[in-house]
Structure 1
């Protein structure tokens, strides 16, 4: 494909984002797409600080200070990984993006709409955002079975309910909500279908644009 394509996988902790992002990357690579799989917090300097902080026993920073760190990491991440990959015509799959900031820091009292607006000039817009939906109680059950996974937020039931409510409220032409309570293979099949449809539409649009710009 002539241009890159940017897919974001979102949802509350325990929804299966990391698994689904990996399965999607593998499926697209098997179809000869050049794929970059990445995540937030990133593996950059600020991202590593965030991961250590979020894996700790308590959250000592204010919601606004947390947001500042996430946005700093996002600036580094997009400049270092996402934009170069898109310019090379690759498919970028991100496990979390700025919708996470809107949902999680929004659940701590910040304005989700203001957070989304603040990213309009900060980060590239995704071509497809898939929010994996899962009841918070099921997400907590999955999390208790996980081992060695970094904690992004407090898992207090009322907090996760607020996060899930924010995710549910997000709408947009590139945004899809996908039920994630089934088996991983079933969720993957639906996610792959959505992604291939979006890729085909993008490639058709690029071809038409090229024709119109050809003398």
Structure 2
């Protein structure tokens, strides 16, 4: 089986976007909505809570502290390999719907914004990570993203939330193109955005041929 393709029977949906666009909220809402339909749903996220993911979360909280972009990417790849092997692929093989809050497109954008080649990052991941049936990149004006991040009361700002850096990240996300990838306006009420997402997801609930074209940037 081509390792870059989702396992037969399952569906893989990835939520992507710059920090603060609302993807975590929307991933949870979608999981709840599909579960209410009687579907078997796995909601997961990256970085994971595994050992590699914990290292990444320390970097998010305390800064890179001399960590090179390549070394940072290697941490994400290690975490994602474990995530795919232990969570994503087994669930897809079992015919479940997997919803992940972030996937390898985040590495293309975030580590790409540090100077690494997004295309090479994608090719590396496609040696082991299933392509999603649907990847939703939520978008917002950077001014609104900044305001949302500033409202995260009681939370230490992540080293990944620098405005200049997020601008580069958003630019890379905006250039990603593939048949299975949808850029979705995240403006409006939570309910309105959720309704737009349900419209995108509906076709996946029927048998269909999986897209195989790569992302273009």
Aligned length, in residue pairs: 202
What residue in structure 1 maps to residue 68 of structure 2? 62
Q: Distance in 1 between matches of 2:200 and 2:157?
A: 29
Q: Distance in 2 between matches of 1:80 and 1:18?
A: 21
What residue in structure 1 maps to residue 23 of structure 2? 17
Q: Distance in 2 between matches of 1:147 and 1:41?
A: 22
Q: Is the contact between residue 51 and residue 150 of structure 1 (CA under 8 Å) also seen in structure 2?
A: no
What residue in structure 2 maps to residue 118 of structure 1? 124
Report 1:180-199 matches (<5 A).
Answer: 180-199=186-205
Q: Distance in 2 between matches of 1:75 and 1:47?
A: 11
Greater shift after overlay, 138-147 or 178-187? 138-147
Of 97, 100, 108, the match for 2:106: 100
Q: CA deviation at 1:198?
A: 2.7
Q: CA deviation at 1:148?
A: 5.3
Q: SS where residue 7 of structure 1 aligns?
A: strand
CA deviations on 1:166-199 (whole Å, 9 max, x unpaired) are 0000000100000002111110110111011233
Q: Distance in 2 between matches of 1:13 and 1:205?
A: 32
Bigger-Rg structure (1/2): 1
What residue in structure 1 maps to residue 3 of structure 2? none
Unaligned runs of 5+ in 1: 207-215
Greater shift after overlay, 96-105 or 149-158? 149-158
Q: Distance in 2 between matches of 1:155 and 1:115?
A: 21
Root-mean-square deviation (Å): 1.6
Q: Is the contact between residue 59 and residue 159 of structure 2 (CA under 8 Å) also seen in structure 1?
A: no
Q: What is the TM-score normalised by the length of structure 1?
A: 0.89
> Which has the larger share of helix?
1
User: Once superposed, which parts of structure 1, at least 4 consecutive aligned residues long, lie more than 6 Å away?
Assistant: none
Unaligned runs of 5+ in 2: 1-7, 211-217
Q: Is the contact between residue 11 and residue 97 of structure 2 (CA under 8 Å) also seen in structure 1?
A: yes
Q: Distance in 2 between matches of 1:197 and 1:176?
A: 13
Q: What is the TM-score normalised by the length of structure 2?
A: 0.88
Greater shift after overlay, 65-74 or 121-130? 121-130
